Amino acid sequence: MKIAIISDIHANVYALINLLEDIDIEKVDTIICLGDLVGYGPHPNEVISMIRRRHILCIRGNYDSSVVDNEYSYIRETPINAFSLPWTVKELREENRLFLANLPSTLTLNIANKSLLFVHGSPDKIDEYLLKDGDNTSEVMNSISNDVLICAHTHIPGMKDFKNKVYINSGSVGKPKIGRPNSTYCILNISKEDGMKVQIKEISYAYKRIVKDMTMLNFPKELIQSFENGLE
- Output the domain CATH number for residue 81: 3.60.21.10
> Which residues of the chain register pLDDT less than 50?
none
The count of C-alpha atoms lying within 13 angstroms of the C-alpha of 171, restricted to the half-sphere facing its C-beta, is 28
| d(C-alpha 170, C-alpha 13), whole Å | 18
DSSP lists the bridge partners of residue 150 as: 118, 168
- Residue 55: domain span: 2-229
**Beta strands across the sheet bearing 165-169:** 106-111, 114-119, 148-151, 165-169, 158-162
What is the chain's mean pLDDT, rounded?
Answer: 98
> How many residues appear in the chain?
232
**Rounded CA gap, 149 and 127, in Å?**
15
| Counted domains in the chain | 1
pLDDT for 179: 98
What is the pLDDT at residue 136? Answer: 98
Question: Edge-to-edge strand order for the sheet containing 57-58?
Answer: 57-58, 30-33, 2-6, 183-191, 195-203
Angle between helices 221-229 and 79-91 (to 10 degrees): 90
Do residues 198 and 166 make contact, with C-beta atoms less than 8 angstroms apart? yes
pLDDT of residue 232: 87
Spatial separation of the C-alpha atoms in residues 208 and 68, rounded to whole Å = 29
Q: What is the DSSP letter of 166?
A: E
In order of 9, 30, 164, 188, 223, the CA distances from 18 in angstroms are 12, 17, 35, 19, 21
Asked if 198 and 33 count as a contact pair (C-beta separation under 8 A), the reply is no
- For 19, residues 6+ apart whose C-beta sits below 8 A from its C-beta are 6, 173, 183, 185, 203, 205
φ/ψ (deg, to 5) at 58: -140, 140
What is the C-alpha end-to-end distance of the chain, expressed in Å? 34
Tens digit of each residue's pLDDT (9 = 90 or more) over 22-75: 999 999 999 999 999 999 999 999 999 999 999 999 999 999 999 999 999 999
